[in-house]
Amino acid sequence: MRDRRAFLAVALVVATTAPARAFSADGCEQQRKQYPANWNDTSAEKTLFTCESQQGRFYVKIGATDEAGRTLMSLVPFSRTNAGVKVETGLDVLRIWLDKEQTRRLRGGKYLATVVRKENSCWIRGNIDEDVVFLMDNAHPREDDPGAAGSFYNKAPRFTVLGNGSVNCEPFK
């Protein structure tokens, strides 16, 4: 019994004095270096979808795939001119790296949910307070019973969301 208490006391001392794994002083800078130096330049990326709502408009774009098989996704705000031309604003791009499966689903317009980063984001210990959730679901399944109470009541509603607002996304033409 005495040996057990001594062992537990030593274990407690070791556990409470072991150095905690700290976030390095340049951790935020290391995270930022994973992304393009010119954050808002998406000119080399391919547009997959055009998304619009009352709260805003953006393109869903993908960039190059890195050595690890990750593909950069960007949500790029745009505005419409008086002539109806869509012009990228060049500001406030949201980005995230997608794995192969996420990229496949995005290209296919299938369900995808992820958090997208702002340029100054720093994810220390999972804190994403300043970032935005992006959920895209462009599947349009038939309702269960077309003659019943209406399509909304015959299937789970499917829609796309950026942050706290729903948007409509269509394939880019």
Phi, psi angles (nearest 5°) of residue 104: -60, -45
Given a cut of 70, is residue 153 above it in pLDDT? no
Domain boundaries, the chain: 24-169
pLDDT at 99: 94
Give the Cα separation of 116 and 107 in Å (integer). 17
**N residues, the chain:** 173
Give 1-43 pLDDT, tens digit per residue: 555 554 444 444 444 444 445 667 777 888 888 899 999 999 9
Give 54-100 pLDDT, tens digit per residue: 778 899 999 989 999 999 999 999 887 777 677 788 788 999 999 99
Give the Cα separation of 57 and 81 in Å (integer). 13
pLDDT at 20: 46
Give the Cα separation of 15 and 55 in Å (integer). 50
pLDDT at 105: 92
